[in-house]
Chain A
Amino acid sequence: GDSVTQMEGPVTLSEEAFLTINCTYTATGYPSLFWYVQYPGEGLQLLLKATKADDKGSNKGFEATYRKETTSFHLEKGSVQVSDSAVYFCALSDDTWAGNTGKLIFGQGTTLQVKP
C-alpha cells in the first residue's frame, strides 16, 4: 500500500541554519503531497503542498519540490528561526483512482529544534 517515510528526528539546528527534512513516498498512482506542521500543544497546519510532478510548494520561506523520479518531497528552508521549532509531517493523498477517498497517509513526523 501507499506509504511515506521521513528522516528520523530530532533535528537540532542553530538559528539561521539551513534546513532539510527528507521525505520519500511509495504510491501506486499519482498522489498529491503535503507538508503539515504541528506546534507544541496544537493541531496540524498545512504548510505547503504540490499536486503533480515538478510542482514546487512554498510558504513562509519553506519549499518542497515534487520529484517523481526519486519519489521524494524534501522540505527546505534557507534560514530557520526559533519559532520554526515544531514537528513536521510529510503526507500524501492518492487521488488517482476514481474510488479514492482522499485520506491522508502520514510519515512518522520529524521534530525540529532551533536554538538561539
Chain B
Amino acid sequence: DTAVSQTPKYLVTQMGNDKSIKCEQNLGHDTMYWYKQDSKKFLKIMFSYNNKELIINETVPNRFSPKSPDKAHLNLHINSLELGDSAVYFCASSQRQRETQYFGPGTRLLVL
C-alpha cells in the first residue's frame, strides 16, 4: 500500500505551459505539505494545508497555486512555467502539524 503517492512521476514541458501535480495520502493525516528540491538537492517548504486550510505559504511566486479538495489530497498547479521551476517536487503528510512527516516519491519536473 502506497502511503503518499504523487502523479506524475516525471513531467517534461515547455516554458509558458501550465501543469498540475497531484498528491494523495491514505494515512488519514490532517496536514499535507509541498516541498521543492533544487538541482543541488536543497529542500525548501512551499506550502502546507491543515484540514484543507492553507497554513504555510513560503514566499512562493503566485504562479504556484495549491488546492486541497479534501484532507487526503493536495494538488499543485503551476502557471506560465519557467526554466527555474525545474526541480523535484515532494508532497508530504503528517497526522497533525508538528508531527513526523511522511514523503511521497517526488515529481521530477523539467521545463525546456
Could you list which residues of chain A lie within 8 angstroms of chain B, going by C-beta atoms? 32, 34, 36, 38, 42-46, 49, 87, 89, 93, 95, 100-106, 108-109
Q: For the complex, count residues of B whose C-beta is within 8 A of A.
A: 28
Q: For the complex, is B51 an interface residue (Cβ under 8 Å from A)?
A: no
Partner of A101, one of B42, B48, B105: B48
Residues of B within 8 A of A (CB): 4, 31, 33, 35, 40-45, 48, 55-56, 58, 90, 92, 94, 96-106
State the CA gap A101–B96 with chains docked (Å).
Answer: 10
**Could you say which residues of chain B place their CB within 8 Å of the CB of A105?**
45
B90 contact set on A, CB distance < 8 A: 43-44
CB proximity of B3 to chain A, nearest CB, Å: 10
A43 to B93, CA, bound (A): 13
In contact, A108 and B41 (Cβ under 8 angstroms): yes
**Complex CA–CA separation, A34 to B98 (angstroms):** 12
**A/B interface sample: 24 pairs, CB < 8 A:** A32-B98, A36-B103, A43-B4, A44-B90, A44-B103, A46-B102, A87-B41, A89-B43, A95-B98, A100-B98, A101-B55, A101-B56, A101-B97, A102-B94, A102-B98, A103-B58, A104-B33, A104-B101, A105-B45, A106-B43, A108-B40, A108-B41, A109-B41, A109-B43
Beyond known contacts A100-B97, A106-B43: 15 more, CB 8 A cutoff: A34-B100, A38-B41, A42-B105, A43-B103, A46-B100, A46-B102, A49-B100, A93-B98, A100-B98, A102-B94, A102-B101, A104-B35, A104-B45, A104-B101, A109-B41
- The answer for the CA separation of A43 and B90 in the assembled complex, in Å, is 7
CB distance from B14 to the nearest CB of A (A): 24
Contacts of B96 in A (CB 8 A): 102
In the assembled complex, the Cα of A19 lies from the Cα of B60 at a distance in Å of: 37
User: Which one of B44, B102, B105 lies within 8 Å of A106 (CB-CB)?
Assistant: B44
Bound-state CA distance A109–B31 (Å) is: 24
Nearest chain B CB to A87 CB, angstrom units: 6
Whole-angstrom distance between the alpha carbons of A38 and B42 in the complex?
12
Query: CA–CA, A104 to B45, complex, Å?
Result: 7
Whether the pair B97, A43 counts as a contact (CB closer than 8 A) is no
